[in-house]
Copies of this chain bind each other. A is one copy, B any other.
C-alpha cells in the first residue's frame, strides 16, 4: 500500500452488461454484482438502482467515509452517523444534469464537548470528499450534531 500511496494514483474499474429492456448488470472484481436500470421517470424500471441514484449514493457515502477518516485521524468520538441525501436532475442549458445535491448528515455525540470536533470533521469531509471535488454539481451539506443524553439508571 505504501508504494501505491507514493504513486498517488488509484484505479477503480467496473463493467456493465445490458440484460434486457432498460436493465443491466454491474460487476467489479471481488465485489457482489449489482442490478441497475434506467429509472421509471425516464421510461425505465422501478425497484432497481439507477445511475442517478448511484451518483447521489456516491456523494452521500463519500462524505461519510471522508468524515470517518478525519474522525479517526483526529480522535474525534461520535456515537452514530446517518445521512439523507437528495440530488436534483433538471434541464440546464438544454440538457439534463444534476443541478445540486443536498446532504443532511446527523451525527450523535455523548456530550457537548465532542460536538465541536465532530462539526470540524464534517466540515473537512465536505471540503475533501473526492466525489464532490469531481463534480460540477453544487454539493450542499447541512450537518446536524445531536447530544444524546445517557439513559438515566432506573
Contact = CB atoms under 8 A, between A and B. Distances in A.
A9 interface: yes
Q: Is the interface on chain A under 10, 10 to 19, 20 to 34, or 35 or more residues?
A: 35 or more
Interface of A: 1, 4-5, 8-18, 22, 24, 26, 28, 30-32, 34, 36-44, 46-62, 64-65, 68-69, 72, 80-92, 95-98, 128, 130-131, 133-137
A97 B8 CA distance: 11
A49, A81, A91, most chain B CB atoms within 10 A: A49
Contacts of A91: 8
A85 B15 contact: yes
30 contacts: A8-B91, A10-B41, A12-B39, A12-B50, A12-B56, A12-B88, A12-B89, A13-B87, A16-B60, A16-B85, A22-B65, A24-B65, A28-B49, A30-B46, A30-B47, A32-B47, A34-B49, A38-B68, A42-B65, A51-B57, A51-B58, A51-B131, A52-B131, A55-B55, A92-B133, A95-B128, A95-B133, A96-B130, A97-B130, A98-B130
